[in-house]
Amino acid sequence: MDEHMIEQVGGQIYTFGSYRLGVNQKGADIDTLCVAPRHIDRNEFFTTFYEKLKKLSEVKELRAVPDAYVPVIKMTFDGIELDMLFARLALQAITKEQDLCELSLLKNLDEKSVRSLNGCRVTDEIIKLVPQQESFRLALRAIKLWAKKKGIYSNVLGFLGGVSWAMLVARVCQLYPNAAAATIVNKFFLVYDQWKWPQPVLLKHPDSDEAAKQGLSFPEWDPRVNHKDRFHLMPIITPAYPQQNSTFNVTNSTRNIMTMEFKRGLEVTNAIFAGKDDWESLFKPSDFFTRYKHYIVVIAKAATADHQLEWNGLVESKIRFLVANLESIDHIILAHVSTESFCSKSEDDEQTKWFIGLEFGRTDNVNINLTDQIRHFTSDVYHKAVNIQLYKDDMVLDVLHVRKKELKNYLPQDVYNRVGLKKKSFVKRNSLSMSPNNDTGGNSPDVNGHNEVRKLEIICLWVEINLHLGDKREKKRRLFVR
């Protein structure tokens, strides 16, 4: 290819997810997509481009996952966490004006490129399908903050990720097109408290007929055709062709936990609109570490930071299978995985811990043996690590069953003090009063939600600041323990 053609072929970086929707938090990662013309293939992205990134001083914690369901390069660039996908289009050149929503672009693409494109296509479809952008964004900010505080924001652990929460909020906006953001939040809990899962959440009818006219036949979510789709517990279907279920990781336990939180959220927001409570109550953190009498501790160890980064990713991706295994035990009612993990470093190794709370039914003095489920989980993780050539001799996985009183032996001291066995108020009353009696709301609820919108904006900002400060404290704590 001559130099003139090289200058003309172009290539673009697109953003999607929370950043593209305008609801990203300070310090949060950014989802990006590198779109290249037909002259460049995926192998070059994961080799030549990857090697160029390694040489940049701004790039830290670089790792490639080319064999993932959606292949990705992960990195921290100038302090900002980035996930970068790759798609190769069957075009001579990629211009700045290139619209990724055109169905014709999917012709002659492989499935990995289609999956990579889907992030941008889904995000843009959500934006198009929402009646009022401003109300949607504030309501989504609030719901995302609520989900994080309640420990139910994590696709990899079997809860919901950012795109799923966005689609749930978008559907409520469609149902209540003229509602203010605060009302949308209340209706969100009303709708999903009453939702008859596994009835799917859909933002639009599938584009299958139009796709077929253009000769496209990529696999789509359709329980009438695909046997596996019938077993999805909480389907939330993406609005861009090929439509997929964004929540296939959900387990019985994680769905039960989320539906319980929907019910609690409805009770709190009803009380807020009745003038009997305030928005702070909605964002109270989860009581995970005081809720259960028994816990499973999953500990991943490795001798070096690079090995630990790889080992962490694999172990975390498999924890939902351990949850499913534990659910299969007759006497276990609930296996609740915490979305918060804890890293530390000693002279010998670096390690990360995850916790699963167990709720038992009536056991009538039956001795419940968890050995088989734990052994199956650890064996599966080691086997997978060997198969994908990730395993190193210094990688260790321990899984322990402990009682609540033993948590002090596994949680960092500052975390144990924070979550532990002493309940603390969510916010000091004199630091930022959001009570129904203050001058922004009065004693009577605002039927149009305008005063509540202002309150919601303030409390969302406050929670975001505290989450960001908490992340910074956690990073400092990790540096300190190292």
**And the tokens for 154?**
């994590």
Residue 30 marked ligand-binding: yes
Whether 144 sits among the annotated catalytic residues: the reply is: yes
Joined together, the tokens standing for residue 365 give 């003095």
17 assigned binding-site residue: yes
Quick check: is 69 catalytic? Answer: no
Tell whether 79 is in a known binding site.
Answer: no
H or E element in which residue 179 lies: none
Say whether 163 counts as a known binding-site residue: yes
**Alpha-carbon distance values, 179 to 173, 254, 436, 444 (Å):** 8, 30, 20, 19
Exposure b/e, 95-112, CB count within 10 A at least 16 = b: eeebebeeeebbeebeeb
> Is 253 labelled as part of a ligand binding site?
no
List 83, 229, 278, 446, catalytic entry: 83
Candidates 409, 391, 390; CA nearest to 400 is 409
Which single residue is written with the structure tokens 């198969």? 387
Q: Is 29 annotated as a binding residue?
A: yes
Question: Any binding-site annotation on 16?
Answer: yes
* Active-site residue, from 144, 150, 301, 455: 144
Please list the residues that pair with 294 across neighbouring strands.
358, 403
Cis peptide before 242 (omega within 30 of 0): yes
18 catalytic? Reply is: yes
State yes or no: is 393 an active-site residue: no
398 is annotated as an active-site residue: no
Catalytic residue among 124, 135, 148, 153: 153
What is the number of alpha carbons within 13 Å of residue 310 lying toward its C-beta? 21
29 is catalytic: yes
The runs of H, that is alpha helices, within 218-370 are 252-273, 279-282, 288-291, 305-327
Q: Sign of torsion, CA 315 316 321 326?
A: positive
Q: Among the options 31, 124, 207, 446, which is catalytic?
A: 31
Alpha carbon of 2 to those of 35, 44, 189: distances in Å? 21, 19, 59
83 has binding-site annotation: yes
Binding residues: 16-18, 29-31, 83, 144, 153, 162-163
Known binding-site positions for Mg(2+): 29, 31, 83
The binding site for ATP comprises 16-18, 29-31, 83, 144, 153, 162-163
Catalytically active residues, by annotation: 18, 29, 31, 83, 144, 153
